Amino acid sequence: MGATKEFHHNEIERDQRAAIADTRDYPILFDTEMVQAILSGWKTQTRRLFKSPLSKAMEPAHEIWHDGGEWIARLKNGQCYKPNIVCPYGEPGDLLWVKETWAPAINNVAYKADYSKSVLSEKRNQGLWHPSIHMAKKDSRLWLQITDIKAQRIQSITGEEAKAEGVGIASVLNFSPGDISCFRAGFYKKWISIYGIESWHENPWV
């Protein structure tokens, strides 16, 4: 006897529930500008610093990549080894729930990224907003799935990667040949606004 449609449906649901049960989730903070870039579909990548002492352990490596199961590092002499790296934001398939600037609302939560600068500048809207770090998991509206992870030196970011970070085009004196406006300069400005100019010049692993 052939299986009924209901049986197949239940089988699919069971598989989906099992997949969700195996998925881990982690909080991640984004400022209002980056939340707006995510909502518009502009931002599909994010780069975060490896925290010490892991960053120090990675420092000798010339190249580091993820083969889908493990991290592999290569020194300048070509020698490869497997460093004990654990990405603090999970592995491909895991979920990230976004913490953003918010405010309590009647039977709901208001998100700062949904409002224009003119509305936010109104006196009645001053002092309402709570820092993203204080957002509860139940109030997060953005759940992102990790599709790929990699490690790179921050200065090696390409123009396409910088664009995928959700930043705009900018021009920075002596940053690029002829001081042309580009996405890398836009990303540079965003990075130093968060981590400081020293972080960029140290060229850390991210």
The answer to whether the CB of 168 falls within 8 A of the CB of 186 is yes
- Cis before 60? omega within 30: no
Question: Is pLDDT of 71 > 90?
Answer: no
Query: For residues 190 and 16, which has the higher predicted lDDT (pLDDT)?
Result: 190
> Which of 16-20, 115-119, 154-158 ranks highest by mean pLDDT?
154-158
| Position 59 in a domain | no
| pLDDT of 29 strictly over 80 | yes
Task: Give domain status of residue 58, yes or no.
Answer: no
* Residue 198 token pair: 């020293």
Q: How many residues does this entry show for the chain?
A: 206
Domain membership of residue 166 as a residue range: 154-206
Helices (H), the chain: 5-21, 32-39, 54-58, 117-120, 159-164, 183-195, 197-202
Judge whether 127 and 117 are in contact, CB under 8 Å: no
d(CA 136, CA 190): 26
Please answer whether residues 27 and 99 qualify as being in contact, where contact means their C-beta atoms are separated by less than 8 angstroms.
Answer: yes
Write out pLDDT tens, residues 136-147.
999 999 999 999
| Residue at 31 is within a domain | no
30 occurs within a structural domain: no
What is the residue type of 20?
I
Tell whether 170 is covered by a domain: yes
Asked if 102 and 112 touch (Cβ cutoff 8 Å), the reply is yes
| pLDDT confidence tier of residue 169, bands split at 50, 70 and 90 | very high
Angle at 67 between CA 61 and CA 68, to 5 degrees: 135
Dist. CA 18–CA 193, nearest whole Å: 41
Percent pLDDT > 70 in the chain is: 85
Q: Report d(CA 179, CA 189) in Å as an integer.
A: 14
With respect to residue 178, please indicate whether it lies within any of the assigned structural domains: yes
- Report the distance separating Cα 205 and Cα 162, nearest Å: 16
Domain-located, residue 115: no
* Residue 121 to residues 33, 36, 48, 127, Cα–Cα distance (Å): 16, 17, 30, 11
Residue 3 CB coordination number (10 Å): 9
> How far is Cα 198 from Cα 203, in angstroms, rounded to an integer?
9
Q: What is the total count of domains within the chain?
A: 1
Higher-confidence residue of 76 and 43: namely 43
Give the CA radius of gyration of the chain.
Answer: 21
**Residue 190, domain member (yes or no):** yes
pTM: 0.82
